[in-house]
Structure 1
């Protein structure tokens, strides 16, 4: 690295600009020649000649270079830029609606969204919800007011108190069975002495396909209604009690059992029957015999495809897979080998 030295205090500088700044700030008042110029010597060049570096009375500056040539103002700035090897930024992307310029195309595209008027942005904040009855977009609280004021929908809600969390989940299962609805976890906050849980309607939200387009969408359609359903359950622990706020009103869909999932308890009962090698047809006949006109539930719509899915999720379809957990599967295999009379060497 080529260093430039100050003749007055022998400090070293890697940049002539820093040396020039140092001379003005430290030696400007004391080390001045007869013509108003600072006189310094450059030891690195081995020269004893006194060289003119900065003219104070005119504000013009000069910098020392390796070949002892001087660059006068205003070319000095261009030299400093080339010395630092900085490239001048080029603003190639111009906004056609305002004077702003951008270096990158992505910045221009992001800026163009600020000029959208009356159009719904494709990507909006997760906190913003879309009305299922129109194209209005706002947050949750404003959406409740929007349904009441613009669509004349009465939002019904109630509050309850539970002494423990187990009673809450018992009530939740009973409420879902009575209303043919399903509430899935939307938010969960657990801290010492504080619990907050939020459950939303499983039909609320926008359908986002994760497939490559090879398979067709199922006949009954997606569970999502491409909009916001206000029905929700919010639980908050206050002291030793659990306070629950329930919004009962569903908007944009009917409480149809075809869009519900099988409950965990029902899946476990079916898995136990499959483990006992009960034929699928017998399981389906038993469930269909329990159907009544006034008590039609999601379990009554059970199909063989559902049984195959349950069999796969509980690892009941193959003897080679003993357990989803590899450690448990290995222990089961070792126990099976130890019980065999024939010994073998691995």
Structure 2
């Protein structure tokens, strides 16, 4: 047993006695080192305690940013759970979700239906959280591409586009939940068609891979950007406007920069091979 010479308190280990003397009897000779929190007035003698304290600050900040869902229709109702917001849409605003259950013979048939639905409704369903495999099937969840909150990933020095982010900073109930059965390959889909909080805007959609392919071949062939834009505008038939007809110079610049045509370097000496190599990597 070790005994403190100042207060005669006993300890089993020498390290405990040394810690006790440094903490209670040698403060005047050796001032303790304090760790301070950057977010509040908290201070502690131990770095581990500060790490736990700061982690609590960051966790609370992330929860406040991610889970603060406000109703897109009334702007007064707030909740954390997505299901509660959907129930609020139905009860308070009488939104009809148009929920359907569809069955497909294969995954390719489901993807073809999904593409036709997106083209008809001027929307896009994106996968969230990846595919999850269960015992008898694989679950894939898709949500409206405008659902969710905009969270800046950079330092904030870049300005947003003039039309803003695609995210509505709220919840859009439109979704797809596809279950692919491992035994038969059949796909059952739970489809909610109602979109809330935004309009069907063609300009919010991205160019398809086929449309990018067509533009990339023209850029690789040396066709001027103005000529490409004029040909796209002239291709409008019977007043039916699609996303490719709204292509801007910025879209062409993005494709050209991705293809490395601006500085004269390509993925291959042959332009056609260079375009195909770029499309395969994208």
TM-score of the aligned structures, taking structure 2 as reference length: 0.72
Q: Which residue of 2 aligns with 1:196?
A: 139
Q: Which residue of 1 aligns with 2:124?
A: 182
Structure 1 residues 210 and 196, CA gap change in structure 2 (3 angstroms): same
Q: Distance in 1 between matches of 2:118 and 2:202?
A: 11
In structure 2, which of residues 201, 214, 239 is the aligned counterpart of residue 269 of structure 1? 214
Q: Which residue of 1 aligns with 2:69?
A: 130
The answer as to 2:160 corresponding to 1:227 is: no
SS at match of 1:196: strand
The answer as to 2:233 corresponding to 1:288 is: yes
Q: Distance in 2 between matches of 1:148 and 1:231?
A: 13
Q: How far 1:111 sits from its partner (Å)?
A: 7.2
Q: Which residue of 1 aligns with 2:251?
A: 306
Structure 1 residues 82 and 195, CA gap change in structure 2 (3 angstroms): closer
Report 1:96-175 matches (<5 A): 103=44, 104=49, 122-124=61-63, 128=67, 130-133=69-72, 134=75, 135-175=77-117
Q: Distance in 2 between matches of 1:209 and 1:154?
A: 33
Structure 1 residues 71 and 196, CA gap change in structure 2 (3 angstroms): same
Q: Distance in 2 between matches of 1:106 and 1:294?
A: 62
Deviates more, 1:198-207 or 1:141-150: 141-150
Q: Which residue of 2 aligns with 1:205?
A: 148
Q: Distance in 2 between matches of 1:193 and 1:278?
A: 52
| Structure 2 stretches lacking a partner, 5+ long | 25-31, 37-41, 278-282
Q: How far 1:254 sits from its partner (Å)?
A: 0.6
Q: Which residue of 1 aligns with 2:280?
A: none
Q: How far 1:306 sits from its partner (Å)?
A: 0.8
Q: How far 1:169 sits from its partner (Å)?
A: 1.5
Structure 1 residues 112 and 261, CA gap change in structure 2 (3 angstroms): closer
Aligned residues: 246
The answer as to 2:185 corresponding to 1:252 is: no
C-alpha RMSD over aligned residues:
3.8
Q: How far 1:128 sits from its partner (Å)?
A: 4.3
SS at match of 1:308: helix
| Structure 1 stretches lacking a partner, 5+ long | 1-15, 18-62, 64-69, 94-100, 114-120, 333-346
Q: Distance in 2 between matches of 1:291 and 1:320?
A: 33
Q: How far 1:147 sits from its partner (Å)?
A: 1.4
Structure 1 residues 140 and 294, CA gap change in structure 2 (3 angstroms): farther
